[in-house]
Amino acid sequence: MDKIRRFGPVWFVPGRNQGRYPYCHSIYIEGAGVLIDPASDREILRQLRDGPGVKEVWLSHWHEDHLSHLNLFEDLPFRMAREDSPPLADLETFLDWYEMDQPATRDMWRELMLKRFRYRPRRPSGYLPAGEVVDLGTVEVEVLSTPGHTPGHRSFFFRGPEVLFLGDYDLTSFGPYYGELHADIQGVIDSVNHLSRIPAKTWLASHETGIFTENPGPLWQRFLNVIDQREEKLIKFLAEPRTRQDVVDAWIVYKKPRQPLEFYSFAEWVIMKKHLERLIRQGRVKQDQGCFSLI
């Protein structure tokens, strides 16, 4: 476990492949034995379980790349936001929340969830209410409601060492992900702005760089700017009527086709769908006979 970085009692457990999907970085609280987001490195998580020990698991949100090793801790209580709990209890609900409306995509994801992400139905033994301050003995942690990425996304501020865990507001150059039924672009913007104002000394995130020992500064706005950049490209693309498949094939989010194609095509669509819905609400885009175009 020599790769673990320690910030007082808050341990940063690096994920495989720099925490890129389908992995994430985990957080472990020394003394309390709380493990947040068990999807980093299965062997390191086994070692943590065996000593110094894991007593409870928390999830920042419901996505598969944050729970793939949850089965190592099936005998332990786990907590998450009530709003994000339904997909954990039922696989079909999980797929519904991703708006998987194509049978082939749904079948592929069902198998992927069972085999790659070791999905097993679980119900939280408790919840993480927004604003709750949990005294873990070695540190007090404030539970922050940061919806947008998911409806019940939680970030955590560890008061003693002034460490802020951002979760999936990871400040990567890829930008925010909001590709699911209850995701909300404005919620993402509001949550990132809220997190940027918290007076932390260390910032930890779920993916890629993961550790910021100085204020991320311009990275906050760079992260949010990606939203506008995607939307501007989409508006230009809709200068003539476009079908759903046309929008996917433009690869505005992922820049180019990636493998497995069905996986990334679906992810491309669910993000673009949020922008289309927003533009329709604003009266800037219309949908007619299966095509999207500017008004």
Residues 288 and 173 in one domain: no
CATH of the domain at 62: 3.60.15.10
Residues 210 and 104 in one domain: yes
Residues 110 and 189 in one domain: yes
Q: How would residue 262 be classed by pLDDT, with cut points 50, 70 and 90?
A: confident
Last residue of a domain, one of 155, 187, 220: 220
Using DSSP's 3-state secondary structure scheme, residue 244 falls into helix
Sequence-separated (6 or more) residues with CB below 8 Å from residue 250: 233, 234, 237, 242
> Average per-residue pLDDT in the chain?
96
Residue 1 has pLDDT above 90, yes or no: no
CB 266 within 8 A of CB 103: no
Domain annotation covers residue 232: no
Residues 19 and 118 in one domain: yes
What pLDDT, on the 0 to 100 scale, is given for residue 220?
98
Residues 113 and 252 in one domain: no
Residues 182 and 252 in one domain: no
Q: Which two tokens stand for residue 80?
A: 């998450």
pLDDT digits (tens, 9 = 90+) for 216-240: 999 999 999 999 999 999 999 999 9
Q: Which two tokens stand for residue 27?
A: 């957080």
The number of distinct structural domains making up the chain is 2
**Running DSSP on this structure, what letter comes out for residue 177?**
-
What pLDDT, on the 0 to 100 scale, is given for residue 70?
98
Sign of CA dihedral 180, 181, 182, 187: positive
Residues 290 and 179 in one domain: no
Q: Which residues constitute the domain of residue 287?
A: 238-294
Q: Which two tokens stand for residue 23?
A: 């992995």
Average pLDDT over residues 52-78: 97
Cβ–Cβ contacts within 10 Å for residue 264, how many?
Answer: 17
**Running DSSP on this structure, what letter comes out for residue 243?**
E
In the chain, pLDDT over 70 holds for what percent of residues?
99
Domain annotation covers residue 226: no
Q: Which of 33, 36, 45 is nearest to 9 (CA)?
A: 33
Average pLDDT over residues 59-69: 98
What pLDDT, on the 0 to 100 scale, is given for residue 174?
97
pLDDT digits (tens, 9 = 90+) for 174-226: 999 999 999 999 999 999 999 999 999 999 999 999 999 999 999 999 999 99
Q: Which two tokens stand for residue 6?
A: 């320690």
Residues 155 and 278 in one domain: no
Residues 182 and 255 in one domain: no
Measured CA to CA, the distance from residue 57 to residue 35 in angstroms comes to 5
Residues 252 and 121 in one domain: no
Residues 163 and 278 in one domain: no
Using DSSP's 3-state secondary structure scheme, residue 222 falls into helix
Residues 135 and 245 in one domain: no
Domain annotation covers residue 225: no
Domain annotation covers residue 233: no
Residue 291 has pLDDT above 90, yes or no: yes
Residue 53 has pLDDT above 90, yes or no: yes
Last residue of a domain, one of 188, 220, 252: 220
Residue 107 has pLDDT above 80, yes or no: yes
Sign of CA dihedral 89, 92, 95, 99: negative
What b/e readout covers 211-226, taking b as 16+ CB neighbours within 10 angstroms?
ebeeebeebbeebbee
Burial of residue 155 (number of CB atoms within 10 Å: 0-12, 13-18, 19+): buried
